[in-house]
Structure 1
């Protein structure tokens, strides 16, 4: 499908990616959860509404879609959503993987390309402390990782939110864990976003990056956000730093969609949402243009 026109915001940034929350429901209660910055309602979009948003986005040059939540796999119709999408370059999902073992194959068959899996610790007790749930669920996550690799939902990216005094001493263990998958599983260290008064858990991101660089056999720089990939004895790891990061904002190509169907130009504010509920395809085209023009050059979150 050729785009009608590639949408760019007032600062020259094209929108080529969508991140779509399909639910605010979740089966965990993580201490750092920011619910994608959303304050929306439980009025979830239907598969048709999700597909229409993606179809219009594709007309304007969107080639990548990432689904999120809440926990997207609490929706039993996620496969139906995937099957309704237009052809895209990359379709992924961020999941806690608790339900992934039994659905990895069907998700792949429905059109999912890869998964990001939230796993903040390899220690079940620490996992339980972070997630607010039974440590026994940890085993299900590990089984979900294995199922994703077996189904070809690769590369599997493990999202590890770093929490000072909780799991920031477990990076080496996580790197060692990924090595067993021979490059099909990579690690992403995530800088904590302070939405729920979690500043006490903030790590020194600069120190973490310095440590990774000192250990790395090779350092690669991604075009997107100028983010660095560190190769450490065969394991691949990135540090994701969305907070107070001018490069992150300067190269942002993503438009977000809340679970109740609002286009969200920036993660860190709810002041410029564009409601799509009930909109026709033609109306959606105009709403997309409106949302893109509301994008700001950098995050303006007030502390």
Structure 2
């Protein structure tokens, strides 16, 4: 059995943005509210996972901060024995008003998605107003002030869109002392992914090293697949997540819980286990849930993420899985 220590939990499929690679244009239907897991149901699943060695939980969406009561939910999660790390991935729009409350509730760290530092391009890729970028940057500053460290910025690479901004992101990292993580575009449930849009991490590293010289390996708080580097002569830290060009399936220590209660063993595989059906059944018991999870983690070893990736087997759109 693989050592699974990391659970990504989507608390909602709703979002105030419409990022083109996550929630394609024209999406009008969302998961009906009765089908979304209640907070107490998620807590029950997390408690069961904690019995099996999971100690780290990351909350995602959609946009997790659009769901009411998220602070109280984080507080409840922080009380579960064995859970030592609770983090959150957000588009940052609501972070300036919520950062300190999230910290008080027990949130440890935060990742903020920023794919471009150009207001017009930001408006285009997110489907929001041009001013949204400045509000998101204010959220990054609020997270730093609230000590939600290390604060990280996630940047999905899109050829011809933001690959000309690499040096600007390095400067952003240097100025704000946050780690910027470049992520390869993944073929998840939409037509936005194409070879024309894809750019490998290797090209980005070459661009940075052509300007600043060789990158220095950097030890940082590590829960995921990112490889982090210090940029010579600056305070910048850059992370790389080569999801496509350099598979890291053999290192995978995570599973995902969708907002509608499906346990997804691999992002790219449509093999799912319906946990909602189990916890809402009349004959539910905690032991039954625990045994189901044990069986699921055994199945995790048999899921071939590379095969699923190459066959583009993921049919669900990213906002329904959890970022």
Residue 99 of structure 1 is matched in structure 2 by: 94
Runs of 4+ in 1 over 4 A off after TM superposition: 221-227
Residue 163 of structure 2 is matched in structure 1 by: 168
Residue 127 of structure 2 is matched in structure 1 by: 132
Count the aligned residue pairs: 286
Residue 155 of structure 1 is matched in structure 2 by: 150
Per-residue deviation, residues 245-296 of structure 1 (Å, max 9, x unmatched): 33x1001010110001111111112233333342532222012112212211
1:41 to 19, 31, 37: 31
- Deviation, 1:211, is 3.2
Residue 72 of structure 2 is matched in structure 1 by: 80
Q: Distance in 2 between matches of 1:89 and 1:261?
A: 23
- Residues 226/129 of structure 1: CA separation in 2 closer, same or farther (3 Å cut): closer
2:198 to 184, 202, 208: 202
- Deviation, 1:45, is 1.2
- Deviation, 1:99, is 0.8
Residue 4 of structure 1 is matched in structure 2 by: none
Q: Distance in 2 between matches of 1:107 and 1:151?
A: 9
Q: Distance in 1 between matches of 2:122 and 2:107?
A: 27
Q: Distance in 1 between matches of 2:60 and 2:225?
A: 24
- Residues 274/103 of structure 1: CA separation in 2 closer, same or farther (3 Å cut): same
Q: Which runs of 5+ in 1 are unaligned?
A: 1-7
2:15 to 19, 22, 26: 26
User: What secondary structure, in the 3-state scheme, does the structure 2 residue paired with 1:266 have?
Assistant: coil
Structure-to-structure mapping, 1:210-229, within 5 angstroms: 210-213=206-209, 215-220=213-218, 227-229=226-228
- Deviation, 1:228, is 3.0
Q: Which runs of 5+ in 2 are unaligned?
A: 313-323
Kindly report the root-mean-square deviation, in angstroms, between the aligned alpha carbons of the 2 structures: 2.2
Residue 321 of structure 2 is matched in structure 1 by: none
- Residues 90/212 of structure 1: CA separation in 2 closer, same or farther (3 Å cut): farther
TM-score of the superposition, structure 2-length normalised?
0.82
- Residues 221/115 of structure 1: CA separation in 2 closer, same or farther (3 Å cut): closer
- Deviation, 1:216, is 3.6
- Deviation, 1:221, is 7.2
Q: Is the 8 A contact 2:184 2:200 kept in 1?
A: no
Q: Is the 8 A contact 2:174 2:235 kept in 1?
A: yes
Residue 237 of structure 1 is matched in structure 2 by: 238
User: Is the aligned partner of 1:273 residue 2:263?
Assistant: no
Residue 298 of structure 1 is matched in structure 2 by: 305
